[in-house]
Chains A and B, each alone.
Chain A
Amino acid sequence: MLTKVLYIDLSRYRYWTENRKDLFEEWLGGTGVAVQLMKENMDPKTEPFDEESTVVFAVGPLNAAYPLASKTVAMFKSPLTGNLGESHAGGRTSTSIANAGYGAIVIKGKSKKPIYIVVNNDKVHFRDARVIWGIEDSLIVARIIAENEGGRGIRSVMRIGGAGEKLVRYACVTTETYRHFGRLGLGAVLGSKNVKAVVVIGRGSRKVQDRKLYREVYDEIFKLATESDAMKKYHLLGTAVNVKPLNEKRGLPVMNLKKTSYEYAENLSGESLAEIIGRRVACSHCPVACIHIATLRLPYENEPYFYKTLMLSYDYEPIYALGTMLGMKTREDFLKVLYRVEAYALDAMTTGVCLAWATEATERGIISERETIVKLEFGNSEAYSKAVEYIVHQPNEFYTILAQGVEKASEVYGGKEFALAFGGNEMPGYHTGYAAHIGYSIGLRHSHLDNAGYSYDQKVESYPEPEELVKTLMKEEQWRQILSSLVVCFFARGIYKPEIVCRALKPVGIEIEESELKKLGEKIYFEKLRLKKAMGFDAKKLRLPDRIFETETPHGKLNRDYAKRAIDYFAKIVESC
């Protein structure tokens, strides 16, 4: 079992480890353990950028042991929502941490000068990052660090770009070029601590208790991953496959959700982007290789026959946020804006929603070029590329405010009715029905992946009573606490069902029954909810933007009373827990 926790204190440049068998035995790992480590190491009232603000990276018992267990959970206080921050990333994060021998890494304090941290198995180094501070392209940062450090093939380079340095509240942390701790602003928290990157180099193993059983269960999971249909969607077109069907069903948010069907959807579809795939890559220890990388070949501005070729990974969510939401007409226009967002290491989803709001606000005359500097109009990729730069550099008050998210921007400038945020986090790409929006609202991370309401919407014909819907979504979220404590990729949820999880845990030393596992999911969920409450979450204050009731969904227009009843019911649960 991985039970060692590495503590790093940036204020004193010290580190130590503790064996926290107690925590891992009770809470598995990942989300379950991260919640407890947050409780132990940070006053919930601490502000996200305070010196005392704490960041936890946690893995679980299945990481580096089974395929598709390739995720790491990051937990922190979100500068975007001012509440619980949790985001998950793949790449080599989890295998590097697990192979280095850690179940979790806790980062506290604040460095006086820019540094990057290198965790090399049992050693931690604090490296001077003054020279690379200010390099805004996160890809260049990683190339420099990779040249400096060892551990090729067994390291994860989790770094911030310009957005994190400039404390954009939705700056992400990028790792292995194409994976992200995307949502809720971890990049800004590291930026506030003067940490340019966290490098983890891990080479190691743990002995399994039953070799035969280990290989049997492993092979079963491997076969399901490679031979059954369980991972087919991700293996073929990837999540981008959603564009066309969502458009046909009228569930695709277009131009700040003014509409849900789009004449240019075909151009931004998974099928269209597949035509320019340059290669595919995988997270460590995952045979699926769901990372789709498109080539964007651009001529030099002034020299004929000279080209540069950018390699950009895409998924459904960035296509939605920076494509359809911004009224892009071609895949190239979408990719050009994505390139900027990736270079600065911003959350693509929040950035897209912020720019879509700003564009509509411009159309309505609430703001003008006096605020936006460039004229924002749907479909204009050059203007959006420039605006992305302004979000990072914040040349005026407007961009300083837009860098705090759409909730804040609409508070200051108005236009709240079309400011698409839930619990302070910008909307994901599904306008599929009640479950999607209620799901974003009640999800503890305000993420579509918390409880997959969007998926429920696409399966159901008629809705139950709102209270029932809330119970169903909560139940899904409770099971997902187990998946994110193991930590397996949510894309593999069709493989990691309770029965197989119990069998997979046995060879790594954990005996647990299915029913106990489900109860544990519920327990972790409520622990997280209580932590969220202690951080100031008030479900009664959840705001549902008017826009979601105005625009057609696959289930027709949504009724405000139904949604309100659901939120009220959830608020009661929160109050009583």
Chain B
Amino acid sequence: MSKKVRRLVIKDIEKCVGCGMCMYACSRRKGEAGIDASGILAVSLSGFERGATVIFCRACVEAPCAQVCPTGAMRVREGGGVIYHETDCIGCGNCIDACTIHAIFRRSDGKPAVCVHCGYCADYCPHGVLAYEEVEPESFRRVIV
């Protein structure tokens, strides 16, 4: 059996109300009031009458973002996802383009904002959409739980 890892997981995506408390938590952790450094985004689904959802890194084991990084700033993390080394990053944006679900965001300084699965935001999700849990690698990547 593979080693368990802690990751930010979706408990029930249909419960998302689009409040974005997670986005604000992410930048607040970095000492900012706002969303510039946030690696998670709350969106409506073609308007709020169709509901809302959150977008963040799915912690791929074969991470396209890391594969296209020319400087090795975006490195695959054991158990899935990436570790981002900001000082190595030239801000080329390849990682942003490579992510199929558009889960890497561009900060105002041009560098990427990506979820590192620290779990800080989960404590601020008021409606049970997000949780920070010890999971089997890969198993948590199902959206239906």
- Pairing of A with B: yes
Please give the residue numbers on chain A whose beta carbons come within 8 Å of chain B beta carbons, in ascending order. 64-65, 67, 95, 98-99, 121, 139, 142-143, 146, 152-154, 176-178, 203-208, 211, 214-215, 218, 222, 226, 279-289, 291, 293, 311, 507-508
Interface string of B95-120 (1 = CB under 8 A from A): 00000000001101000000000000
B13-52 residues with Cβ-Cβ distance < 8 A to A are 17-21, 24, 27-28, 31-37, 41-44, 46-49, 51-52
The answer to whether B127 has its CB under 8 Å from any CB of chain A is yes
Q: Provide the bound-state CA to CA distance between A222 and B125, in Å.
A: 11
Partner of B19, one of A205, A211, A287: A287
Contact A203 B32 (CB under 8 A): no
Most buried by B among A153, A178, A291, A311: A153
Contact B33 A284 (CB under 8 A): no
| Residues on B with beta carbons closer than 8 Å to the beta carbon of A177 | 44, 47-49
The answer to whether B126 has its CB under 8 Å from any CB of chain A is yes
Known: A64-B35, A205-B34, A280-B17. 19 other contacts (CB 8 A): A146-B46, A152-B41, A153-B42, A153-B44, A176-B48, A177-B44, A204-B35, A204-B36, A205-B108, A206-B32, A206-B34, A208-B33, A214-B31, A279-B17, A281-B18, A281-B52, A284-B20, A289-B19, A507-B33
Closest to A62 in B: B33
Contact A283-B33, Cβ < 8 Å, known A143-B47, A289-B127, A311-B49: no
Contact A203-B17, Cβ < 8 Å, known A146-B46, A222-B124, A293-B49: no
Partner of A153, one of B34, B36, B41: B41
Contact A281 B17 (CB under 8 A): yes
| Residues on A with beta carbons closer than 8 Å to the beta carbon of B106 | 203
Contact A139-B36, Cβ < 8 Å, known A285-B19, A285-B21: no
Sample of 12 A–B contacts (CB below 8 Å): A139-B47, A204-B36, A205-B35, A208-B32, A218-B28, A222-B124, A282-B19, A284-B42, A286-B19, A287-B19, A287-B126, A289-B17
| Residues on B with beta carbons closer than 8 Å to the beta carbon of A139 | 47, 49
Partner of A146, one of B20, B33, B47: B47
Closest 3 CB pairs of A and B: A205-B34, A282-B19, A205-B36
Contact A176 B49 (CB under 8 A): no
| Residues on A with beta carbons closer than 8 Å to the beta carbon of B34 | 64-65, 98-99, 204-206
Q: Provide the bound-state CA to CA distance between A234 and B33, in Å.
A: 25
Q: Provide the bound-state CA to CA distance between A267 and B55, in Å.
A: 39
Contact B19 A279 (CB under 8 A): no
Contact A203-B36, Cβ < 8 Å, known A281-B18, A284-B20: yes
Please give the residue numbers on chain B whose beta carbons come within 8 Å of chain A beta carbons, in ascending order. 17-21, 24, 27-28, 31-37, 41-44, 46-49, 51-52, 55, 105-106, 108, 124, 126-127
The number of inter-chain residue pairs (CB within 8 angstroms) is 114
Partner of A283, one of B19, B27, B41, B49: B19
Contact B44 A176 (CB under 8 A): yes
Q: Provide the bound-state CA to CA distance between A152 and B44, in Å.
A: 8
How far is the CB of A203 from the nearest CB of chain B, in Å?
6
Q: Provide the bound-state CA to CA distance between A206 and B18, in Å.
A: 22
Q: Provide the bound-state CA to CA distance between A176 and B49, in Å.
A: 9
Contact A178-B126, Cβ < 8 Å, known A64-B35, A287-B19: no
Contact A281-B51, Cβ < 8 Å, known A204-B36, A289-B19, A289-B127: yes
| Residues on A with beta carbons closer than 8 Å to the beta carbon of B31 | 207-208, 211, 214
Closest to A293 in B: B49
| Residues on A with beta carbons closer than 8 Å to the beta carbon of B41 | 152-154
| Residues on B with beta carbons closer than 8 Å to the beta carbon of A99 | 34-36
Closest to B107 in A: A203
Closest to A92 in B: B20
| Residues on A with beta carbons closer than 8 Å to the beta carbon of B51 | 279, 281
Q: Provide the bound-state CA to CA distance between A226 and B19, in Å.
A: 13
Contact B108 A95 (CB under 8 A): no
Most buried by B among A67, A293, A507: A67
Most buried by A among B24, B32, B49: B49
| Residues on B with beta carbons closer than 8 Å to the beta carbon of A98 | 34
| Residues on B with beta carbons closer than 8 Å to the beta carbon of A176 | 44, 48
Closest to B53 in A: A153
Q: Provide the bound-state CA to CA distance between A98 and B35, in Å.
A: 10
| Residues on A with beta carbons closer than 8 Å to the beta carbon of B127 | 287, 289
Contact A178 B48 (CB under 8 A): yes
Contact B47 A204 (CB under 8 A): no
Q: Provide the bound-state CA to CA distance between A64 and B31, in Å.
A: 13
Closest to B36 in A: A205
| Residues on B with beta carbons closer than 8 Å to the beta carbon of A205 | 27, 32-37, 108
